[in-house]
Amino acid sequence: MLNVGDGAPDVEIEDHLGKKTKMSDFRGKTVVLYFYPRDNTPGCTTEACSFRDELAGIKKLGAEIVGVSTDSAQSHQGFIKKYGLNFTLLADKSREFSKAYGVLKFTGTAARATYIIGKDGRITHVFPKVSPSTHTKEIIAALKEY
């Protein structure tokens, strides 16, 4: 995994709408970049819905939420629609994005981990182990201290 102070890798990736993006596109914004294994699985759904429910408060703290898994953009679209998700999901089909962030598991999925990336593109917080039911509270606490 990457460490606090490291620059966020700028690997190109598609979002859930098929638009190519890089983390440098978010420069000037604080980004909560969370990795998760699969759409529509119990833990991943719990975590995503928690971010959905707390998004207004997170935005008030000046941050954007961006989720990443190795699922396809089409899978992400269904996940967003089914649960009313209100933030961007990135589709890491090549697995290069997850690999660059040090979260690619031997199974080919992303580990459940989160980075907070500051406005300057540097990592300010690292969460290598995440509990889906309490993670949003950790993120909010970290954003308040940042």
Domains of the chain: 13-145 (3.40.30.10)
What's the rounded mean pLDDT across residues 72-86? 97
One-letter amino acid of 134: T
Q: Is 44 part of the annotated catalytic residue set?
A: yes
pLDDT (tens digit per residue) in 114-136: 999 999 999 999 999 999 999 99
Question: How far is the CA of 48 from the CAs of 4, 22, 58, 126, 132, in angstroms?
Answer: 24, 21, 13, 18, 8
Helix (H) or strand (E) holding 51: helix 42-60
Give pLDDT, residue 87: 97
| Residue where the block lists tokens 């420069």 | 27
What is the helix (H) or strand (E) element at residue 145, kind and residue range?
Answer: helix 135-145
- pLDDT per position as a tens digit, 15-62: 999 999 999 999 999 999 999 999 999 999 999 999 999 999 999 999
- The answer to whether the beta carbons of residues 34 and 128 sit under 8 Å apart is no
103 is written with which tokens?
């979260």
How far from chain centre, in Å, is Cα 134?
15
Residue among 44, 65, 68, 130 flagged as catalytic: 44
Contact 56, 65 (CB under 8 A): no
**CA-CA-CA-CA torsion sign (89, 113, 122, 92):** negative
